[in-house]
Amino acid sequence: MSNILKATEQKLGVLEKVAQSGDRRTFLKFAGMSVAILTVAGCSDTTTSPTTGGTTLTNDDFGVLNYAYALEQLEAAFYTQVIGSFPAAFSTAERAIFMDIQAHEVSHRDFFKAALGTHAIGSLEPNFSSIDFTSRDNVLATARTFEDLGVSAYNGAGQLLTTPDYLVIAGKIVSVEARHASTIRDLINPKSTAFSDDMITPGGLDLARKPSEVLAAAGAYIKTTITSNLP
Amino acid sequence: METKKSMFDELDPDIIDRVVSRRNALINTGKIGIGLALASVPVTFGLLSTKAFAKSSTPAEVLDVLNYALKLEYLENRFYVTANASSGLIPGSDAQIFTQIAKHEAAHVALLKSTITQLGGTPIAEPTFNYTKNFPDVFTNYQTFLAVSQGFEDTGVRAYKGRATELMSNKTVLTAALQIHSVEARHAAIVRRLRGQKGWITGNDRGGLPAAAQAIYDGEENLVQGTNTVGKVTVTSSEAYDEPLNATQVGAIVSLFM
């Protein structure tokens, strides 16, 4: 496995150089080759899968980006369902906030899909059977879970990326997820320390979780089987 | 659990004491549960482990970014220390929010200083800040205080983001910087809400801050995300993405308070 990782790193190093040379067509050709090699070496499947089948995250930058894409799909689906039929107890202000967040998550999802192009995993099928969408408390608690999980996921995945441009885009998104998390927490416990309490920010640091931990938690809300080769 | 024990064994007690008392560290570890302990403790304490750093030399670039971050954290920390000590400034109903933010900024200062030292660098001394130069009533008028606080937090988010790629050679430091970065974003959102603003930035709207603060929001209106390496995409929402600021841009903002 370590040999495969080493080969991946070398390959990505080449990709970066090609990318920096500005020859997009050459870069894309190399990118395709890289994935093919990884597929053979890791015995993994990077092709788009139907929602009912499984999907695989490769242990490389595309795998990390697809991991983010999977989480954004989950969040976008959740908020889309919430705004389709708000809990009766939601205030006007809360509805406006959820409309905003839904638009953000849809934008994140669509960005990853478009940016990854042929490297993108398929659409995931969510499993929201445990969520009571008529309950304000349950919807807010679920939103808090998703946002905190998302923040910790991006924080933990940053160090897995080898391409600077990918880290930049992840950084642009994670802080907006943190703004969401803080806002949702303020709706649940107004004007308290909940926006950034000591459970999530021990010692002034937000959490950073490995993909395996995040996917284990997110799996409860996803019907599609995700096979992850990420740490 | 064995992993955690070995991390504790490597800790430099003096440094832990500076960031969080030993007893609190142990209590918190017990309290936060297995999932969080695995996720956050090794990373947090890894940063403070002498052995972890002794193995490789540190590029000057990493130290430069850490001192850059330290300057911003000094700016924020002194601001909240002063505000929290200014009687009558912060209403009782909002006091715990700023006590919490101040606690984080103090922890960030301590963590950055100890990390720079452990990496073989020298932490910069705390500069003398002048908060009232451009905002004379910042410690007597709550609305002015909130406006400057929002400006600091939104700047912090953009500043960390702007230099994250320079930390890629050190995964531990990069992760810690990201963990600080998202806490600044949590702060920004709550302070914005106290001002009646959305928790996120719309276009380059400075949200009623004085014109001098426009530099904090310039560029936030960007709608083209990604690059040729990942795929350039025109997105539907500028709110959904926080934009980086470079060192020159941040320096111009900080100079308003020097």
> Where residue B59 falls among pLDDT bands split at 50, 70, 90?
confident
Q: Which among B181, B199, B229 has CB closest to A163?
A: B229
Rounded Cα distance, A127 and A85, in Å = 17
Predicted pLDDT of residue B10 = 35
pLDDT beyond 50 at B14: no
Q: Please say if the pLDDT value at position B60 is more than 70.
A: yes
**CB distance B146 to B101 below 8 Å:** no
**C-alpha atoms less than 13 angstroms from C-alpha of A91 in its C-beta half-sphere:** 5
B177 CA: distance to closest CA in chain A (Å): 9
Q: Average the pLDDT over B31-39 and give the result.
A: 34
Tell me how close the Cα of A182 comes to any Cα of chain B, in angstroms.
Answer: 5
B222-245: string of b/e by CB count within 10 Å (b at 16+)? eeebbbebbbebebebbbbbbbbb
> Is residue A49 over pLDDT 90?
no
pLDDT above 50: residue B24: no
The C-alpha atoms of residue B170 and residue A210 are separated, in whole angstroms, by 17
More confident residue, B52 or B115: B115
Q: Are B111 and A203 in contact (CB under 8 A)?
A: yes
Q: Which of A62-71, A75-84, B229-238 has the lowest mean pLDDT?
A: B229-238
* pLDDT of residue B26 exceeding 80: no
Q: pTM for the full model?
A: 0.81
The amino acid that residue A124 corresponds to is L
The mean pLDDT of B174-186, rounded to a whole number, is 98
- Residue B122 pLDDT grade (very low, low, confident, very high; cuts 50, 70, 90): very high
ipTM: 0.82
pLDDT at A107: 97
Token digits for A119?
Answer: 């490297």
pLDDT for the residue B53 = 47
Helix (H, G, I), strand (E, B) or coil at A57: strand
Nearest-by-Cβ selection for B157 from A166, A175, A206: A175
Res B226: pLDDT: 86
Pairing of strands B233-234, B224-225: antiparallel
Q: How buried is B92 (Cβ within 10 angstroms: 0-12 exposed, 13-18 middle, 19+ buried)? A: exposed
pLDDT at B4: 36
Residues in A closer than 8 angstroms to B35, CB to CB, are 209, 213, 217
User: Is some CB atom of chain B closer than 8 A to the CB atom of A176?
Assistant: yes
